[in-house]
Amino acid sequence: MSVPHALLALLSEGPKYGLRLQNEFESRTGEVWPLNVGQVYTTLQRLDRDGLVETDDEEGERSQKRYRITSAGGRELADWLRTPPGLVPPPRDELVIKVLVALQVPGTDVHEILQVHRRHVIETMQRYTQVKAAAAEDDVALALVADAELFRLEAIVRWLDAADVRLKQQPPPTPAAVADLTLEAIDPMEVPQ
Amino acid sequence: MTSALELRQVSKNYGSGPTEVRALRDVDLSVERGELVAIMGPSGSGKSTLLTIAGSLEQATSGQVLVNGVDLASVSRQDQAKMRRRSIGYVFQDFNLLPGLTAIENVTMPLELDGIRTKAARATGLEAMEQLDVADRADRYPDELSGGERQRTAIARAIVGKRGLLLADEPTGALDSVNGEAVMRLLRAATKRGVAGVVVTHEAQLASWADRVVFLRDGQVVDQTVAPPGPESLLAAGDRR
C-alpha cells in the first residue's frame, strides 16, 4: 500500500489537516490498514519536500497545518494510478517450494501436504468472508479489500487443485529435476522479459 | 439433540465386478440446524452423489441416512417421498422453476403435492417469499422475473413450510462472482433462521461462506475446516503487510 499516494488522493478532493487525513485513510480502506498519525505527518513532510503538496500560509486552529496538493502532486497521482503494480518477477512462493520439496522427501504423501495447505487457505478465506458478511451493505471499500484478498487466496486453492490432478495423472518428476527447480525457485532468478 | 442430517458409514457403489465404481466410501457427516456446510472436492470425488443420497433421491449401498433422526431405510417408499417433500428442500444450478406456473405456484407446489389446501399453501408460500424479499412478485411468471428474483424464488421454494434441510448442488451455476455471492448470502441467511444447509461447490470463494467446509476425495471425507477464529483476527496490525 502506497501511503504517499493514498494521501495525495485524499488531498485531491481539497485541502485537509493531517488528523483528518488519517481518519479518512482508515475509513476508506475499510479500516483494514491502520495508520498512525506520526506516519501521516512524516509522509506529508516528505511530500512537501518533493513539491507534491504545500501548506497554507496561515496556520489553522491549534497551529495545525493544512495541506493541499500541488499540480506536480496531481501529475504524480495520475501516473501512479496508471502504473501496473509489479506482477513480475514472481514472488518466491514459499508454498510452491514446499510442494516441490515434498516431492523429494521419501514417504511423504504430497496429496496430503496439498490438502493441509488447501484447508488452511480456505479457513483464511472464511475469515475474510466473515468480514464481508458482517460489513454494512454500503461499505464498498471494505468489500473491495476483502474481495482482493479472496481472489488472491482462491488462486492459491486453484493452483493446489491443479497440482493435485497433475500429480495424480503424471508420475512425479525425478528428484534431480525437482532439486534443480527448487534451487531456481529459491535463488533470485532472471525473468525473461 | 438430533441432527437435521446424519450420514453414518455411507457407501455407494455403481455397477459390479471389475467395472464397479465406489462413489462413496464410509462417509460420516452430521449437519445441525443453523449450520451451513460446504462440500468441496475434485470432479468425480462423490460430491453430487453425497447430496442425492442425503436428499434420498438415491439409496446408499450401505450405511444409514438419518433426516431429523429418522432412518430413511426404515420407512416405506411412499413415506420416504412424503418425508422428502416435507423436510428437504433443493436448490438446483439453473433454479428449475416451472415456466407455466407463477412464482407463488412454484413455491407452493411441494405443499400442494402434500395435500395442503391452496389457500393455506399460498399463505405459507408468501411467508417464504417474504423472507427472501420477493413476495411482491408472487403472481408473476418466471420469465417476468429478473435473474435475481428467480434465484430468490427458487430458494423460497426450497425452504417453504417447515423444511429443516436445504440441499444445493452448485447453486450459483454460471453466475458471476458478485451474483454468486448474493446466492450464498441468501443460503446463509436461510440457515441462520434455523435450517441445516449443505452446498456442493468446487469454488473456494463460495465454500468460504459456509460455517464448515468438508473435503471429499475419491469418495471419502479426507478433511474439514475447523471453526474460523472470527474476522477480528485479520484486523490485528501484525497480520497486515
Contact between chains at B213 and A133 (C-beta distance less than 8 A): no
Alpha-carbon distances, residue B9 vs B17, B43, B52 (angstroms): 22, 22, 16
Residues of B in contact with A2 (CB under 8 A): none
DSSP classification of residue A137: T
Residue bearing the bigger pLDDT, B28 or A25: B28
Q: Enter the ipTM.
A: 0.83
Residues of B in contact with A157 (CB under 8 A): 204
What digits encode the pLDDT tens for the residues A163-192? 999 998 877 666 666 666 666 655 444 444
A-B C-beta contacts closer than 8 Å: 72
Average pLDDT, chain B: 88
**Among A33, A122, A158, beta carbon nearest to B225:** A122
DSSP classification of residue B237: G
What digits encode the pLDDT tens for the residues A26-50? 887 766 677 888 999 999 999 999 9
Cβ density class A150-182: b for 16+ within 10 Å, e for less: beebbebbebbbebbeebeeeeeeeeeebeeeb
What number of residues does chain A have? 193
The separation between CA B145 and the C-alpha centre of its own chain, rounded to angstroms, equals 23
Residue whose entry in the numeric block shows the C-alpha cell 484447508: A119
What digits encode the pLDDT tens for the residues B53-108? 998 888 999 999 999 898 888 888 888 888 888 889 998 877 789 999 999 999 99
Residues of B in contact with A130 (CB under 8 A): 228, 230-231
Contact between chains at B213 and A122 (C-beta distance less than 8 A): yes
Confidence of residue A14 (pLDDT cuts 50, 70, 90): very high
Residues of B in contact with A131 (CB under 8 A): 231, 234
Give all strands (DSSP E) within chain B, no chain letters: 5-14, 21-31, 36-40, 62-67, 70-71, 88-91, 165-169, 196-200, 212-217, 220-224
Contact between chains at A111 and B217 (C-beta distance less than 8 A): yes
**pLDDT of the residue at B131:** 86
- Any CB–CB contact under 8 A between A158 and chain B? yes
Residues of B in contact with A114 (CB under 8 A): none
Q: Where are the alpha helices (DSSP H) in B138-208?
A: 147-159, 177-192, 204-207
What is the greatest pairwise CA distance in chain A? Answer: 74
- Burial class from Cβ neighbours inside 10 Å (0-12, 13-18, 19+) for residue B171 reads buried
> From CA A110, how far away is CA A105, in angstroms rounded?
9
**Radius of gyration from C-alpha coordinates of chain A:** 23
pTM of the prediction? 0.78
- Any CB–CB contact under 8 A between A185 and chain B? no
**Among B205, B222, B225, beta carbon nearest to A150:** B205
**pLDDT of the residue at B237:** 37
Interface list for chain B against chain A, based on CB atoms closer than 8 Å: 40, 42, 181, 185, 188, 203-205, 207-210, 213, 215, 217, 222-226, 228-231, 233-235, 237, 240
